[in-house]
A and B are shown apart, each in its own frame.
Chain A
């Protein structure tokens, strides 16, 4: 158990819908990262937050957004969903300069 908790584990929804994925980082970790894992794109970095502020942005679509709350948990919002958004979404966390630990992921299926 990495200590990073993601909910839900599985989610099935329809095209055009909006979903929210939630992540609780390890206790004491200030950085939260979101990654998307798909068969054709591999592991793609989406976005990083550090202590509530956006720190780095990767290949995140405009239809996607994220935030980190004062209690340090984070949410990834995916809207206007398309079939191609079906993937495994990972959250990870770290301390200021420490190792990065991953949650078990949220599997999103868009039908």
Chain B
């Protein structure tokens, strides 16, 4: 079945460091890919998405490129801030049928940024 694999956390970085969180997926066809972020005590927020191969999603300085050849959607940010500390979830959604289909999530990666 469909699945998402994320790198294990926690990832601990100093402020202004470069961030990469790896995400690979297994799915039939051409799913849409997402990154969600969960700040402490809050729900999940959509961070960015890409709906087809080679698309780049970006938001708030974060980027991820949909690589079909490597079935990957790695999250990157050039300079992290303390406020980026959160849990990041990679997810996929298969595209078929008339209604939005369920998201399948990875296990989440905790990012802790130290000042």
Chain A positions near chain B (C-beta within 8 angstroms): 2, 4, 30-31, 33, 42-43, 45, 48, 50, 55-56, 58, 90, 92, 94-105
Contact = CB atoms under 8 A, between A and B. Distances in A.
A30 B112 CA distance: 36
Contacts of B103: 33, 45, 92, 100
Please tell me the size bucket of the interface on B: 20 to 34
Interface of B: 36, 42-46, 49, 89, 93, 98-108
Dominant SS among interface residues on chain B: loop
Nearest to B32: A99
Closest 5 pairs between A and B when the two form their complex, measured CB to CB: A94-B100, A104-B43, A102-B44, A43-B105, A102-B43
B99 A103 contact: no
Contacts of A42: 105-108
A56 B102 contact: yes
Contacts of A97: 98-100
